[in-house]
């Protein structure tokens, strides 16, 4: 009996041990398989993301026609902050593309000379070098061409003509010297062309890699769980049709209201104000309501949204986009996840760009500010 | 004969040597006495200067009611660059007191909300902490009181009332946190009072010691010969009657046109525009045309001059001042020397102040910009 009991107890103990071992093994296999599957999923997401996006680094995006040099960047930054480029002496590039607020003014559309209200929302200068063309309608092929626009636009900085700007700068000896240094091979370096080239060179340095780029470079933990879910949703919903590449947008043109006219969704008070987009430039019927797809980098900071700055909430903008571009009604949860992902596109403004330059003094030859 | 010749030659040699030694001694005595007298003169000038001026250092000029702390300065700088303090969301303190141009806008009078043109020239914020009172008419007793003005002035930043500003900032969580840190002992730290206190704390750090201060501290070579002559002329002509102390001005009020009405010298197109100055505040007959004497620190950078910004040339401003305040017609040479001295008052803007802050993002609760 004692022997049988002993045997029974041993058997029981063995069974108990067996159960424990089996349970442990099950837990181990289950948990490790779960671990493996999460990383696997993330890796799959990364591989998928890589087919749409490319990581942004701090490497300057050069223009062979205007190679970026420290001298040009230095001069360009001064000109970027230079209110004397405007007729009034009050408005600089930074007035509307304020580097203190991610290169925008956070206004629906900008304020210009004599408090005129511009027709379109000021896009950020950050990462603008990535864009296939400049302005909402892409009427400038690059930053060098773009920089020439606002200075002479009567609704913006309102300088009357190129010579006015050149003469003002030529009246300031420090600028004469700085243009010589920035364009050392030119006989007459202080030209309107070179004003734009220097500003563009500065702008080419305004790149803001973010956590998303770390993810794209293989760091699976660079994004939170929600951000990864957002990225997945962003891809699955089809946002990547337009918002793709290094800029997460900015590399193609697209009709605003591809599936549904946008003016039916955004309630415009005045239908006459509806912007026909690129059509105004090309006169091509197919370009009606067509705009450059904006980059979504730092989009959480560049409210209000769309070419007319009509929408303040990023959640609402995402919903509208899905509806009018993709014909989809997103759930609140999908929107929340996408917005979480978009937050991961927020980068840091380069430290050098945030160092305010000290501007050189005017001379008796410098033309006086004109408020009219 | 040979003996005599020898003697003669020795005598001649001795005489020659004597002459050389004598000449050397004369040159030595003359030059050393000249050296001595120049240094002596400089030292005398320094001693005389010390009776009028005091050296400025980088030591913050504190207000016992608003002690300067790093937390306040940090917050104050953000608010200084914050366009959301204005109704339109377009104008910040820095719009008119631009640190990129020595704390001024270099406009005759400033542009404000809806392109309204202000009545008086924007004084520099640099070294403003030295002033006995703020604004041209001294209507604010200190920077803390001053900072409250422009934000609510309908011609300047045009925020409709204090609560508007407080509500806007309270809608931004980062500001709520920063006010807590800056005013840790207060229950409700985000108040209009504290907005002004934080801005003032930042402004109290904006001090620009210059070469003149090195001179005042005993470095006789800190000023050039011409600058020292200018300083001497500045004292002898009597400019120091008003432009004195640490700020080289800024510590008293004075009638603009003490000897001769200023509107006779500066040809005003519209006599109705003539500014009655401090009289508007005190209603005291003796305060007609009385203004705060401006500090001359960085005056070479803060053109155009006078309370109405009517004069662009510093030379002309110096001439007019001598004529209407001291009843003197200065020669061109005197003017040139004085201007040379004034150049030595140009200091450097503190590096920290030139680091543009990155402003926190708005929330759905943040009131929208209003251009009207």
Cβ distance of A356 and B358 shorter than 8 Å: no
Taking CA A349 as the corner, what is the angle to CA B173 and CA A111, rounded to the nearest 5 degrees?
75
Is there a contact between B255 and B290 (Cβ–Cβ < 8 Å)? yes
Select from B107, B355, B364 the Cβ nearest to the Cβ of A354.
B355
Q: What is the C-alpha separation between A169 and A195, in angstroms, rounded?
A: 9
Please report, to the nearest 10 degrees, the dihedral formed by the alpha carbons of residues B324, B325, B328, B334 taken in order: -110
State whether residue A358 sits within 8 Å of chain B by CB.
Answer: yes
Select from A88, A100, A359 the Cβ nearest to the Cβ of B357.
A100
B267 pLDDT band, cuts 50/70/90, is confident
B18–chain A nearest CA distance, Å: 56
B117 pLDDT band, cuts 50/70/90, is very high
Is B159 strand, coil or helix?
coil
Q: What is the C-alpha separation between A169 and A176, in angstroms, rounded?
A: 7
Helix (H) or strand (E) holding A24: helix A2-50
pLDDT, tens digit (0-9, with 9 covering 90-100), for A316-368:
999 999 999 999 999 999 999 999 999 999 999 999 999 999 999 999 999 99
Alpha helices in chain B (DSSP H): 2-50, 70-80, 93-96, 143-146, 148-152, 162-170, 173-182, 192-204, 211-216, 225-237, 262-265, 279-282, 314-326, 332-343
Which of B164, B178, B158, B166 is CA-nearest to residue B114?
A: B158
Distances from the Cα of B325 to the Cαs of A238, B242, B244, in angstroms? 75, 10, 15
State whether residue B303 sits within 8 Å of chain A by CB.
Answer: yes
* Residue B328 scores a pLDDT above 50: yes
Distances from the Cα of A273 to the Cαs of A276, B205, B241, in angstroms? 9, 48, 62
In this structure, chain A runs to a length of 372
Look up residue A190 and give its two tokens.
């202080």
Is there a contact between A202 and A195 (Cβ–Cβ < 8 Å)? no
Which of B170, B171, B196 is CA-nearest to residue B72?
A: B196
A116–chain B nearest CA distance, Å: 9
Q: What is the pLDDT of residue B1?
A: 46
* Residue B126 scores a pLDDT above 70: yes
A 10 A CB-CB count for B87 gives 25
State whether residue B119 sits within 8 Å of chain A by CB.
Answer: no
- Which residues have CB under 8 Å from B110's CB, separation 6+? B95, B96, B117, B118, B121, B122, B156
| Phi, psi dihedral angles at A228 (to 5 degrees) | -65, -40
Q: What is the C-alpha separation between A66 and B24, in angstroms, rounded?
A: 64
State whether residue A158 sits within 8 Å of chain B by CB.
Answer: no
Q: What is the pLDDT of residue B139?
A: 96
In chain B, the residue whose alpha carbon lies closest to the alpha carbon of A94 is: B95
* Residue B278 scores a pLDDT above 80: yes
Q: Across the strands, what pairs with B117?
A: B111
State whether residue B365 sits within 8 Å of chain A by CB.
Answer: no
Is there a contact between B94 and B81 (Cβ–Cβ < 8 Å)? yes
Select from B101, B301, B359 the Cβ nearest to the Cβ of A100.
B359
- B202 contact residues in A (CB cutoff 8 A): none
- Which residues have CB under 8 Å from B365's CB, separation 6+? B171
pLDDT, tens digit (0-9, with 9 covering 90-100), for A101-139:
999 999 999 999 999 999 999 999 999 999 999 999 999
Q: What is the pLDDT of residue A1?
A: 47
Q: What is the C-alpha separation between A77 and A352, in angstroms, rounded?
A: 10
- A88 contact residues in B (CB cutoff 8 A): 107, 111
pLDDT, tens digit (0-9, with 9 covering 90-100), for A220-243:
999 999 999 999 999 999 999 999
- Which residues have CB under 8 Å from B347's CB, separation 6+? B56, B126, B207, B208, B209, B210, B213, B297, B298
Q: What is the mean pLDDT of chain B?
A: 93
State whether residue B74 sits within 8 Å of chain A by CB.
Answer: no
Cβ distance of A361 and B301 shorter than 8 Å: yes
Cβ distance of B312 and A115 shorter than 8 Å: no
Look up residue B349 and give its two tokens.
């803007």
B174 is catalytic: no
DSSP annotation of A291 reads E
Q: What is the pLDDT of residue A268?
A: 73
C-alpha dihedral sign at B94, B100, B104, B106: negative
pLDDT, average across residues B296-323: 97
State whether residue B95 sits within 8 Å of chain A by CB.
Answer: yes
DSSP annotation of A97 reads S
Is there a contact between A233 and A223 (Cβ–Cβ < 8 Å)? no
In chain A, the residue whose alpha carbon lies closest to the alpha carbon of B372 is: A115
DSSP readout, A244-277?
-TTTTS-SSEEETTSSS-HHHHTT-S-GGG---B
Q: Which residue has the tokens 């609140």?
A: A332
Which of A237, A226, A247 is CA-nearest to residue A318?
A: A237
Cβ distance of B371 and A117 shorter than 8 Å: yes
* Residue A12 scores a pLDDT above 70: no
Exposed, middle or buried: residue A292 (CB in 10 Å: 0-12, 13-18, 19+)? buried
pLDDT, average across residues B218-247: 98
Q: Check residue B313 and give left, alpha or beta (phi > 0: left; psi -120 to 50: alpha).
A: beta
Select from A95, A303, A356 the Cβ nearest to the Cβ of B354.
A356
Q: Across the strands, what pairs with A292?
A: A253
State whether residue A367 sits within 8 Å of chain B by CB.
Answer: no
Kindly name the residue from B82, B156, B227, B334 that is annotated as catalytic. Answer: B156
For chain A, the distance separating the N- and C-terminal CA atoms, rounded to the nearest angstrom, is: 115
What's the pTM?
A: 0.90
State whether residue A356 sits within 8 Å of chain B by CB.
Answer: yes
How many C-alpha atoms does A32 have within 13 Å on its Cβ side? 6
Q: What is the C-alpha separation between A209 and A350, in angstroms, rounded?
A: 10
B139–chain A nearest CA distance, Å: 26
Q: What is the pLDDT of residue B273?
A: 75
Q: What is the C-alpha separation between A197 and A75, in angstroms, rounded?
A: 10
pLDDT, tens digit (0-9, with 9 covering 90-100), for A13-63:
666 666 666 666 555 555 555 556 899 999 999 999 999 999 999 999 899
Is there a contact between A211 and A55 (Cβ–Cβ < 8 Å)? no
In chain B, the residue whose alpha carbon lies closest to the alpha carbon of A114 is: B115
Asked, as a colleague might, if the bond just before A304 is cis with ω within 30 of 0, I would say: yes
Distances from the Cα of A287 to the Cαs of A149, A241, A281, A327, A364, in angstroms? 22, 18, 9, 20, 49
């Amino acid at each position: 009996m004692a022997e049988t009991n002993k045997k029974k107890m041993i058997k029981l103990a063995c069974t108990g041990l067996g159960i424990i071992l089996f349970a442990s093994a099950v837990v181990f296999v289950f948990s490790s398989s779960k671990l493996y599957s999460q990383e696997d999923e993330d890796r799959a997401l990364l591989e998928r993301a890589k087919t749409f996006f490319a990581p942004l680094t701090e490497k300057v995006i050069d223009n062979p026609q205007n190679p970026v040099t420290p001298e040009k960047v230095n001069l360009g930054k001064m000109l970027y902050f230079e209110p004397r480029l405007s007729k009034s002496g009050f408005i600089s590039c930074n007035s509307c593309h304020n580097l203190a607020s991610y290169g925008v003014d956070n206004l629906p559309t900008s304020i210009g000379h004599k408090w005129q209200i511009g027709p379109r929302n000021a896009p950020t200068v950050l990462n603008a070098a990535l864009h296939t063309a400049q302005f909402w309608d892409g009427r400038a092929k690059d930053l060098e061409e773009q920089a020439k626009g606002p200075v002479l636009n009567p609704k913006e900085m309102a300088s009357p003509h190129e010579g006015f700007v050149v003469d003002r700068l030529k009246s300031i000896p420090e600028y004469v010297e700085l243009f010589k240094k920035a364009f050392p091979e030119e006989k007459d370096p202080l030209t309107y062309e070179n004003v734009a080239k220097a500003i563009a060179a500065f702008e080419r340095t305004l790149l803001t890699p973010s956590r998303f780029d770390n993810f794209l470079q293989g760091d699976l933990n660079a994004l939170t769980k929600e951000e990864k879910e957002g990225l997945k949703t962003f891809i699955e919903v089809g946002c990547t049709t337009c918002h793709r590449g290094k800029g997460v947008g900015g590399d193609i043109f697209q009709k605003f209201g591809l599936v549904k006219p946008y003016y039916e969704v955004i309630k415009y008070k005045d239908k006459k104000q509806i912007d026909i987009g690129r059509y105004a430039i090309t006169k091509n019927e197919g370009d009606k309501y067509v705009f450059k797809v904006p980059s979504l980098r730092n989009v959480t900071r560049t409210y209000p949204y769309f070419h007319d700055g009509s929408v303040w909430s990023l959640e609402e903008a995402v919903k509208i986009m899905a509806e009018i571009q993709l014909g989809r009604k997103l759930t609140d949860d999908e929107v929340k996840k996408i917005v979480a992902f978009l937050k991961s596109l927020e980068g840091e403004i380069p430290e050098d760009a945030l160092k305010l330059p000290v501007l050189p003094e005017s001379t008796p030859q410098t033309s006086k500010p004109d408020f009219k």
